[in-house]
Amino acid sequence: MLKKRIIPCLDIKDGRVVKGINFEGLRYAGNPVELASRYAQEGADELVFLDITATLEKRKTLASLVTEIAKEINIPFTVGGGINTPDDAEYLISRGADKVSINSSAVKNPELINQIAKNCGSQAVVLAIDAKKVNGNWEVFINGGKTATGIELTSWAKYGEQLGAGEILLTSMNNDGTKNGFAIDALNLVGNNVNIPVIASGGAGSMEHFTTVFSETKATAALAASIFHYNEINISQLKNYLQQNNLPVR
């Protein structure tokens, strides 16, 4: 059984960490460099940095901040937001990112997945998918969750894998920030149809939610934000809890 990974996520707006509910109502959650350093010390397995307004504001990711964080941590570091070309991806990797996360740009230009995978390796390409349940079906959304695409979740995940994505970061917009638990049905739809690792995102509110997602889906990692930012759950304590529940962690 693959050892499970715990991944804190820094959602960045205007150079600061923010968090909302269902992608709305953002509030300040801390200094990105300080939080990154704290998470590395607490035993986080990886760190995700998402510049959440880069696509909407039609600008590149905050590269200087990426470099600053990379210097502070010694764990794999994924960066997303505003990556529209293979050069954008290579530049962020040169600034300290280990992987890049692409979302809206991949939907608009699926060949981008293949191009980055060829240049940087599949292991460096995380296909981030923001999905929302609409009339009983999971649909892919882009532009920070603002724009419906009409694309069905499973078909997009499978296509992303075919194009060379090495991992899928699946965020349920319905569950995001609610602390009611992960979207088990969406995770199973994807996990049962792809052969690459799936990161569960959206809805973590308790240690039990992590046990559930790892027991009931094929997710190999779980990502959370506010529960870590506001010290509601400590990462090292969470890992001890999972081990006590016979879930192997890194």
For 216-231, write each residue's pLDDT tens digit: 999 999 999 999 999 9
Separate counts of helices (H) and strands (E) for the chain: 10, 12
Tokens 């954008």 sit on residue: 88
Alpha-helical runs (H) found in the chain:
32-42, 63-72, 86-94, 104-108, 111-120, 153-163, 184-191, 207-216, 226-229, 235-244
Q: How confident is the model at residue 56 (pLDDT cuts 50, 70, 90)?
A: low
Out of 11, 51, 88, 176, the active site residue is 11
Tokens 């081990």 sit on residue: 243
Q: What is the model's pLDDT at position 23? A: 67
Is 213 strand, coil or helix?
helix
Q: What is the model's pLDDT at position 238? A: 98
Mean of per-residue pLDDT scores for the chain: 94
For residue 11, indicate whether it is catalytic: yes
53 or 158: whose pLDDT is higher? 158
Out of 45, 88, 130, 176, the active site residue is 130
In the predicted structure, residue 182 carries a pLDDT above the cut 90? yes
Q: How confident is the model at residue 15 (pLDDT cuts 50, 70, 90)?
A: confident
What value does the mean pLDDT take over residues 39-56? 89
Nearest in space to 72 (alpha carbons), one of 18, 14, 32, 123: 32
In whole angstroms, give the CA distance from residue 50 to residue 36: 13
Is 152 strand, coil or helix?
strand
Q: What is the model's pLDDT at position 58? A: 66
- Rounded to 5 degrees, what angle do the CA atoms 247, 230, 175 make? 65
Q: Which tens digit of pLDDT belongs to each residue from 83-126?
A: 999 999 999 999 999 999 999 999 999 999 999 999 999 999 99
Q: What is the model's pLDDT at position 246? A: 95
What value does the mean pLDDT take over residues 8-19? 89
Q: Tokens at residue 96, please? A: 């300290």
Q: What is the model's pLDDT at position 181? A: 98
For residue 98, indicate whether it is catalytic: no
The answer to whether 169 and 48 are in contact (CB under 8 A) is yes
